[in-house]
Structure 1
Amino acid sequence: MSLFQEDPKNIHNFIRASLPLDPKKLCESVPLPYSEKPGYSAVYRNKYSVDGLITRPHPSLATLFDLHEVAARSQPDSPCFGVRHKQADGTYGPYQWINYQEVYDRKVHFGSGVFFILQNNPYRTNSPVHQKIHYDPQATESPFVLSIFSANRAEWVTTDMACSAYSLTSTALYDSLGAQTSKYILSSTESPIVVSSKDKLKSLIKLKAEDPETLSNLITLVSMDPLDPKTDEALVKYANDNRITLFDFDQVLKLGEINKLPQIPPKPETIYTISFTSGTTGANPKGVLLTHANAVCAVTFCYSNITLPESPTVYCFLPLAHIYERMSISFALSMCAAIGFPQSPSPLTLMDDIKHLRPHFLNLVPRVYTKLEAALKAQTFNSDKPIIKSLFSAAINKKMELQAVEDGAQGKHIVYDQVVQLLRKKIGFDRLIAVTTGSAPISPETLKFIKASLNTGMSQGYGLTESFAGVCTSLKYEANPGSCGAISITTEMRLREVPEMNYHAHDKGGPRGELMLRGPQIFREYFKNPEETAKAIDSEGWFATGDIARIDATNGNRIYIIDRVKNFFKLAQGEYITPEKIENTYLSQFPFIQQLYVHGDPLKTHLVAIVGLDPATVDSYIKRKFNDILSNQDDIVDFFRNPKHRLALLEDMNSSVGGLLQGYERIHNIKVDFNPLTIEDNVITPTLKIKRPIAVKFFKEDFDALYEEGSLIKPDAHKL
């Protein structure tokens, strides 16, 4: 019997003809009448969904499985996964593609193969977890959790699609979590199988070898890379010695092809994935349970905003272990996009891949865009060729001026568009339609420059793991960039007053307070953690994000993220400080730094900070400011050990924020370095949020030294 009442091609064509929605209407949200309660703002919905939230792009599409089916049936011959292979000379060749039908077959074979190798596993025991491992076409919930552990690659997405095809729940491990956190995830999910890149196999086996009781349920590893019977003999033995069977991806595909099983379509309420958040407290991560209904809502959010070319191409760059990229790839698969994968886990190959792929869309994070901005400026504004410098400066400045006229203004110019196209073509951006950014603050000036220099739309979004990524995004051509746009058609919002931080529902210019979300895109609970669930979701279903937002009543009630709840402390003179707001202000206004960690001591009257310089731009700053030429990072760090040089830098930082900060919110002393906040030191999360309880201990000696030295701005400011 057909899954759909309509032909998949008709469904696909209907969606493409109906979406995206009108951006001029989509960029506004409205307060619902009589929805305001004491201590809260009104409830806001998107102008498109005032009468009811929208959950699907089409009535027939309720799960990711449905989306995959429509894509494969409507365009089976379209390119789906593209991979670059290493050549004899060490370079990587052009993208090689397999189509949607081939990917469809691989997911079915792999899903079937997973059941085969687990059901016939010699290390299967009488444990409750192992006894649940069996194929049941009538299953209503996943019989086990499958874990995925690798950098972005086609096998990662194939495995994830196979899970959807057989109603299996997946979870992801990633390097930045560390071995102990990986062990915690495997233990808490009781996962019997990990599909992993070959380089991670030994460390996974070692985890079980060191604690066989805790990981007794782990009995199978699947290598995404081929295993050689001779050279990998010791690895296979190591696995078997620890009661683990080891297969490679192709073996599982072949076993599944021979022992093919009918798919088990999930229901909307089926758990699609358990996404573990890294968190900012240093405690074990929380597992966010996300259903197929949540995932389809996220795809619906994407469809409502994005204009589709006839045959779209995307680049799978951001880590698939994080929800931002999983949303993006779910959307890409549903729209039959050609998805190109990185040649290696290193971000240094990004631009080379883009030249070969020529994508229509890019999803990146702010620190990648700031590096791109510096590279583009080096070829335009700062070119050593006067004609090039003059021509591109005129073109980009004019386009920035035209794009700032009004919302939606693309800044078209009959001459300068052709000039900018030369730059786009040179770096592989000639087909680019739009780029998006999220996960961390980005300077409005960076947004303006990239839009103009690449002649493309650029939007800033906001979302969380708990909301299956994006729940709002700005206009591609926002005249005055900086907002995260209006709340999406899938979700409603309100703000909770936080009086101790001076945020209220009736503040001038619009409500300010903790952003709260509700709707079908929002998660329902944390995995095996009812206490944290109760803290996060109230009796009315509102999820407290922990982020402080401002709703701007003057521009369609768009959202601005300005702070974090509880990220505040009091200085000795009694002033309350919210460090994240201060950090975001400096980072957005002073382009020569890319990291900032602000700290205050309750016994002191001023703030100190750890500053991470932007390696792409700081040498030009030093040349202009100090008339000195330095390019070596160690030399630059030594240069700023001099208090006079640090003072000059600090004065420029404080000057850049103008009247955006109060006097007591300005920094008085700094330690300067390159990339001082790292995931490896456990002071930031993989999404670049500062783990303040850990960071304050990590930098204690630095902060003590800065307070001992005193204020550079006012030498006697440290005296009470």
Structure 2
Amino acid sequence: MSPRTYASTDGTAPPGTLCTLFLDAVDRFGDAPALRRFTGRGDEMADLSYDEVAEQAREIAAGLAFLGIEAGDRVALLSENRPEWAIADYACLLAGIVDVPVYSTLIAQQIAYILENSGARAVFASTREQVDKALAAADEAGLDLTVIAFEPVSTPSTRVVQWDDLRARGRERLGDTPASEFEAAARAIGPEDVATILYTSGTTGNPKGVMLTHGNLHSNVWACANILDVGPDDVTLSFLPLSHVLQRMVDYLLLTSGCTLAYARDIRNVAEDLRVVRPTVAVSVPRLYEKVYNKVMDAEGVKLRLIRWATAVGREWADAVLDGASVGPFLAARRALADRLVYRKIREGVGGRLRWFVSGGAPLEPAIARFFFSVGLPILEGYGLTETSPVTNVNPRDAIRIGTVGPPVPGTEIRIADDGEILVRGPQVMKGYYGRPEDTAAVIDGEGWFATGDVGELTDDGYLRITDRKKDIIVTAGGKNIAPQPIENRLKTNPFVEQVVMVGDKRKFPGLLLVPAFGPLEAWARANGVAPGDRRTLLQDPTVQAHMEREVVEHLGELSRYETPKKIALLADEFTIEAGTLTPSMKVRRRVVQERFADLIDRFYDEANEHRSVFTE
């Protein structure tokens, strides 16, 4: 039987815009809480209602008009997640202004390219640090633009306007103009109008600006609303960067549904903020789930034995439930005991109220997905790209298939090309790359099929399984194809592994660049008579090297011979956004990593090291 190469889900998204979604939500939910933020006084939080968000968005839109910024102009957003981000975004959308989100982790030189390429007229910036970066970027790009500071900033620059001052100018401009007049103009914006330009966080070269229309994003909100059950009783914690289209689209969906959006204090404070906010739904990338899983497994002695027992029970229970088999009384009793002793504490660690997580941005290791399902925290894994607004597939809550990213969302078609590449067609596919028609034509054919650059396959029931990025497939010198991500993700479930990158393209065999989980490794070292010392000293210890090699070999025992890594390099420093080895959406920049550790990788294949298997920097 030939493998399935096409899948679709029926449905036609009604025409609409982000403006109508927002204004209709304001009409429905009015004085209900829309946005929630930490005040800076401990765990205290304050709310803005739907009505208040709409009022501030109108003021900012009018303030932008005061600055001479008109419909069709571009305005950049350089900020961490916070209420002002959403209000500025809605102000631009309602005024027909195209906003350009910029990751707050980018440096001035990177920001300069985005400002110049997009032709931005102004920049919203959150803090003094971001204001200074915006000014430096504008100078580098030779742009005379206005910087609007969310927080009060003392500066001699005449180019900086304070947020509250802009609101005041907006109120003056609005005067006695009825809100209905502003609303009518906003509702006249069409589905084909460009809503936003998002610059992809590519690993090489300058990023491309993805043009998404109101219709693109509106259709994606509609499609996901047909799958994800969300309502006014829900609360979420927004912590993925809003410059990442996944968090942004999901936030549109949640606000449209009456959900309250709470903003994390900082991406590094998410664990504590989850306990304070107690969300009922949340979206993240696999890195968060990996960290939670590894923290649970980072136990010792009796506690570790208990967790391993509970994990085994949960795996057995999850397999039965997901396969539609009956759960016998003995398994049900063991699962209830595991829940009382272990699972409940894990749920309480993320607030105690979560009904489901959504995962996207990169493949999720099935063992981690099964673990979360077993403890009562189902992860609805999905798939998509910036160019598809972003969601093309997602697992429905009542029909999860672990190891897949679900069937197409309503109105979407998926096709597998002859070389295995995933092709997508639907209303969420971008208008194109800004100012780059040739690049657009290279990925969207005459029939509207978008080439994703990912490789995958369809199950018999139409669920999509991702293999890897097409460009990341390793082809060994012997012609064997290796998909690195599934192997890397499997290794990340090992308690001694924090991060890992497989290398070996056009080489005789694959190898690994591996950052250990230093907490468990240092505890193991002490228990085995090795003084941890500093990280680099620890990794040079022969006993530690032998232990890490043994862990890798045992964890990857089922791989084919050609897939099995022959050499391992132990790294002392994590891959981070700040170091440039992770993208702002926490994906590894493979080419950057390989260039940075080129000498170390070359040592794998040096004939003098034929009998050596573990290396350090």
Partner of residue 331 from structure 1, selected from 217, 230, 253? 253
Matching residue of 2:134: 204
CA contact (8 A) 2:232 2:258 kept: no
Equivalent AA in structure 1 for residue 78 of structure 2: F
1:626-666 Cα distance to aligned partner (Å, 9 max, x none):
8356666x34x43333456434423432332233x321222
CA shift, 1:434, in A, is 0.5
Q: Does 1:167 align with 2:96?
A: yes
Counterpart residue type for residue 613 of structure 1: P
Q: Find the counterpart in structure 2 of residue 565 from structure 1.
A: 470
For residue 538 of structure 2, the aligned residue among 602, 619, 639 is 639
| Residue type of the alignment partner of 2:200 | T
2:492 matches 1:593: no
Superposed, 1:274-313 pairs within 5 Å as: 274-280=197-203, 282-313=204-235
Measure the CA separation in 2 of the matches of 1:582 and 1:403: 21
CA offsets, 1:431-453, max 9 Å, x none? 11111222123322222222333
- Alignment CA distance shift 1:169-1:621 (3 Å): farther
Normalised TM-score (structure 2):
0.88
1:267 counterpart (190, 209, 212): 190
CA distance in 1, matches of 2:490, 2:458: 21
Correspondence for 2:575? 677
Of the three residues 334, 346, 349, the one matched with 1:427 is 349
Determine the structure 2 residue equivalent to 1:365. Answer: 285
* Cα distance in 1 between the residues matched to 2:486 and 2:609: 20
Please give the alpha-carbon distance, in whole angstroms, between the structure 2 residues aligned to 1:193 and 1:641.
51
Q: Pick from 456, 476, 480: which aligns with 1:576?
A: 480
Structure with higher Rg: it is 1
Structure 2: distance between partners of 1:390 and 1:702: 37
Per-residue CA shift, 1:263-315, capped at 9, x if unaligned?
432211111110100112x1100000001111112212321222235511011
- Secondary structure of 1:93's match? coil
Match of 1:254 in 2: 168
- Residue 605 of structure 1 aligns to a residue whose secondary structure is coil
Q: Residues 631, 71 of structure 1: CA spacing in aligned structure 2 closer, same or farther, 3 A cutoff?
A: farther
Preserved contact between residue 383 and residue 391 of structure 2 (Cα < 8 Å): yes
Distance change >3 Å, CA 477–CA 44, structure 1 → 2: closer
Task: Provide the secondary structure at the position in 2 that maps to 1:86.
Answer: coil
| 1:397-442 Cα shifts (integer Å, max 9, x gaps) | 4444222213387987666655567525743522111112221233
Change (3 A) 1:178 1:202: closer
Secondary structure at 1:406's aligned position in 2?
helix
Measured in 2, the distance between the counterparts of 1:190 and 1:356 equals 41
- What amino acid is the match of 2:33? P
The Cα RMSD (Å) is 3.0
- Shift in Å at residue 476 of structure 1? 4.1
Give the number of aligned pairs: 596
> Residue in 1 aligned with 2:436?
529
Task: Provide the TM-score with structure 1 as the length reference.
Answer: 0.76
3-state DSSP class of the match of 1:595? strand
1:189-242 alpha-carbon deviations (Å, 9 max, x no partner): 111110111221122222333x4xx433x4211100124xxxx1xx2x2x23xx
Q: Deviations over 1:488-540 (max 9, x none)?
A: 11310101122xxxxxxxxxxxxxx1001011011121000112111111121
Aligned to 1:55: 13
User: CA separation in 2, counterparts of 1:674 and 1:360?
Assistant: 37
- Other-structure match for 1:84: 38
3-state SS of the aligned residue for 2:471? coil
CA, structure 1 residues 305+275, in 2 after alignment: closer, same or farther (shift >3 Å)?
Answer: same
User: For residues 109-128 of structure 1, what are the alpha-carbon distances to aligned partners after superposition, in whole Å with 9 as ceiling and x for unaligned?
Assistant: 11111111x12xxxxxxxxx
Whether the 8 Å contact between 1:316 and 1:339 is mirrored in structure 2 is yes
Gaps of 5+ in 1: 1-30, 120-132, 135-141, 499-512, 716-720
Q: Distance in 2 between matches of 1:569 and 1:314?
A: 39
SS at 2:454 equivalent:
strand
Tell me whether 1:607 sits opposite 2:510 in the alignment. Answer: yes
Judging changes above 3 Å, is the alpha-carbon distance between structure 1 residues 517 and 86 closer, same or farther for their aligned structure 2 residues? same
Q: Which residue of 1 aligns with 2:117?
A: 188
Report SS of the residue matched to 1:557.
Answer: coil
Tell me the percent identity: 24
Sort the Cα spacing of 1:668 and 1:622 in 2 relative to 1 into closer, same or farther, 3 A: farther
Distance 1:684 1:94, change over 3 A: closer
Instruction: Give yes or no for contact 1:186–1:215 (8 Å, CA) kept in 2.
Output: no
Match of 2:8 in 1: 45
Whole-Å separation in 2 of the counterparts to 1:616 and 1:203: 36
TM superposition shift of 1:164 = 1.5
Does the Cα contact within 8 Å between 2:364 and 2:489 map onto a contact in 1? no
In structure 2, the partner of 1:459 is: 380
Aligned to 2:360: 438
Note the C-alpha offset of 1:258.
1.9
Q: Is the contact made by 1:571 and 1:577 (CA closer than 8 Å) also made in structure 2?
A: yes
Residue 294 of structure 1 contacts residue 468 of structure 1 at CA under 8 Å; is this kept in 2? yes
- Structure 1: distance between partners of 2:340 and 2:483: 44
Partners of 2:343 and 2:44 lie apart in 1 by 23
**Residue 355 to residue 694, structure 1, CA distance change in 2 (3 Å):** closer
**Counterpart in the other structure of 1:137:** none
The 2-side partners of 1:357 and 1:567 are apart by 38
Q: Work out the CA distance in 2 between the residues paired with 1:648 and 1:393.
A: 20
In the aligned structure 2, how far is the partner of 1:651 from the partner of 1:430? 37
The alpha-carbon distance between structure 1 residues 355 and 368, as it changes in their structure 2 partners (threshold 3 A), is: same
Partner of 1:69: 23
C-alpha distance in structure 2 between counterparts of 1:391 and 1:642, whole Å = 31
